[in-house]
Amino acid sequence: MSTNTVSRPLTRESVEAAHQLITAHIHRTPILTNTTLSQLASTPQTPEALRATQWEGQAPAKPKMRLFFKCENFQRIGAFKVRGAFHAVLRLIEEQGIEEVRRKGVITHSSGNHAQALALAARTFSIPAHIVMPSISTPSKIFGTRAQSATIHFSGSTAREREAVVAAIQADTGATLVPPYDHPDIMLGQGTVGLEATAEVAELLAASPQLGIAGKTGLDALLLPCGGGGMLSGTAISLYNTPTRVYGAEPSFQGADDAQRGVEAGRRVESVKTLTIADGLRTNLGIYPWEIISKKEYVNGMYAVTEQNIKDAMQLVLERMKCVVEPSGVVGLATVLYNEDFRRMVEKEAAEEGWNVGVVFSGGNTTIEAITKIFADEGTSGEELQRAQGTLGRDGKKTAENVAG
């Protein structure tokens, strides 16, 4: 993408401009509440639940929270990714002109949600789209991308293999790369989630104050999943110097909590290899998002949850909210319910009054097969679950490196 986009200021005003630009092309997704989940969030965990965790033997936290869910699983293509894709494409059109963008086309590498998002944005403006996807991508996501008239090019699953295919296609076509997360225009587009969530909760509380903490008119905190970091960093920019604190949530499995580890170490983790069931969060934090997420004044904290936490949160959403959310989309809720460090922080910071906490459901792109495997009994093999998630080839070889996006 052009150097002009890199110099676009990373400010709330830029996110507001992005929202104005893309609003005709995205859904205004709803805010949902759920009494049961708010009650669970405000109920101390049992000593049994903390057994065999780092909090075993400690007194359970006693936070008070009311939860508000921003449902990007109802977004176009089933995920927040369309926000960044439309913003990046529209900025390209502004800078180069529609005919030039059509002549070159656009290209990206992605295993699913960003692939579908860019394909949709490109089709909207009759722009050729080349999507490089790992050959082991989930079939439903391949189908969804092809349905948007994109040209799919299959590759290996590692970053190096995908980038080699992208480079070859760019050499032939001149197509402009639109990255999944590691670019300012992607971040600014994704950050529109924060603008909408805070405004919509304020509107909801003005009409129905009983849904929130007494006397409060907006969100105290907003939790978002973090993989490459585009949405988390963009939202942190959009809510900088506002009353709403921003927190990130990650899986802990096989080092998927690279953002948390990087922030603690003061250095970005450059490579991640993980088979977490939260397949949208398997990639490492991008360079541009790191510059925001690593700063405490933007992101107040990073928290991680286990695979079992993710499964339990996903089951609660399915059963209590009657809502389909993919594993990556529920890590924020899992943090609210099960991460004692987060819960203890809320107890301390909110004191007796409590917090209104927003949770972003980032997407709903899963399959019946994958859900069945996730909740199957213990006799289900790991290979079956990995195939259902699109992370194991039919030859039985694991393909774990950076297949998210």
Measured from the Cβ of residue 140, the count of other Cβ atoms closer than 10 Å reads: 18
Q: Please report which helix (H) or strand (E) contains residue 101, including its range.
A: helix 98-104
Residue 322 annotated among the catalytic residues of the structure = no
Of the residues 38, 42, 70, 81, only one is catalytic, namely 81
Contacts of 2 (CB under 8 A, 6+ apart): 92, 95, 96
Quote the Cα angle for 363-307-297, to 5°: 65
- How far apart CA 260 and CA 337 sit, in angstroms, is 18
Query: H-helix or E-strand containing 224?
Result: strand 221-225
Cβ burial of 3 (10 Å; 0-12, 13-18, 19+) is exposed
From edge to edge, which strands make up the β-sheet containing 129-134?
A: 151-155, 129-134, 106-109, 176-177
- The per-residue DSSP string of 108-138 comes to EE-SSHHHHHHHHHHHHTT--EEEEEETTS-
Instruction: Take residue 300 and report the two structure tokens written for it.
Output: 């107040």
- Catalytic position from the list 42, 111, 233, 238: 111
The single-letter code of the amino acid at 349 is: E
Q: Return the closest-CA partner of residue 219 out of 242, 238, 250, 236.
A: 242
Q: Where are the alpha helices (DSSP H) in 149-279?
A: 159-173, 184-190, 192-207, 230-238, 258-265
What 3-state class would DSSP assign to 85? helix
Give the integer Cα–Cα distance in Å for 227 and 145. 21
Active site residues: 81, 111
